[in-house]
Structure 1
Amino acid sequence: MPPRVTVDEAPAGLTDDTLEVFKALSNPVRLQILQWLREPRAHFDAERAIADPDEVGVCVSHITEKAGLAQSTVSSYMSVLERAQLVTSTRIGKWTHYRRNEERIAAVVDSLGQSL
């Protein structure tokens, strides 16, 4: 049986931050949400939005509706994506809006390309 690799022995370039991203993307629903947020106007009804989905993001209630999951589940998923810095959140009144963090995503892709 091959030896197990620990986080301390992870390949160069794969930092704890990068591993956090992999954990966030390991769930197919979180990955799907991130893909929807890439083109929010194509996947969410912009007319129902209280803010510009491109500038501010998509309301968690709209993500919940599209995903067909409980609000608490979607909020948990969004927290994981936010901890991995793949999305940012903005509060407008009682609503939280999420949008992709394109700079972070590009940095992760670049880091991955250099590591593998």
Structure 2
Amino acid sequence: MSDRLEQSKALANEHRIAILEWLANPWDHFSHQVTGDPREIGVCVTLLTEKLGMAQPTVSRHLELLRRADFLTVKRIGKWAFFKRNEAGIAAYKDWLNDSL
């Protein structure tokens, strides 16, 4: 139950919700990523930082909370980190929510 509580807390922030929404259709928001297709490798932290208009450490903290909640996966390429939605983790949370309420 505490894992589900942590997941719920991860969703209790408008910036984290926006990140999940953008990453649902990354090409619509980050097609200008030059490193690779954001649908395949994920979106670079730098682009998420620019879109949110926040400091990189703050964005990294949001991303880490979503990753720990199993809503995101991270792929490292060199010194860069690319984030994608973890659709299986999101679906499991939705199922739990539907079954619990």
TM-score normalised over the length of structure 1: 0.83
Equivalent residue for 2:29, pick from 43, 65, 69 = 43
Structure 2 unmatched ranges of 5 or more:
none
Q: Which has the higher helix share?
A: 2
Displacement of 1:49: 3.0
Q: 2:89 aligns with which of 104, 112, 116?
A: 104
Residue in 2 aligned with 1:56? Answer: 41
CA RMSD across the alignment: 0.9
Distance 1:62 1:42 in 2: 13
How far residue 54 of structure 1 moved from its aligned partner, in angstroms, is 1.1
Q: Give me the whole-angstrom Cα distance separating, in 1, the residues matched to 2:87 and 2:37.
A: 17
Distance 1:81 1:48 in 2: 21
**Where has structure 1 moved over 6 Å in runs of 4 or more?**
none
**Greater C-alpha radius of gyration:** 1
Aligned to 1:33: 19
Cα deviation, residue 18, structure 1: 1.2
User: In structure 2, the residue corresponding to 1:18 is in which secondary structure?
Assistant: helix
- Measure the CA separation in 2 of the matches of 1:86 and 1:102: 7
Post-superposition shift, 1:56?
1.3
* Structure-2 separation of matches of 1:37 and 1:48: 13
How many residues of Structure 1 are paired with residues of Structure 2 in the alignment? 101
Identity %: 50
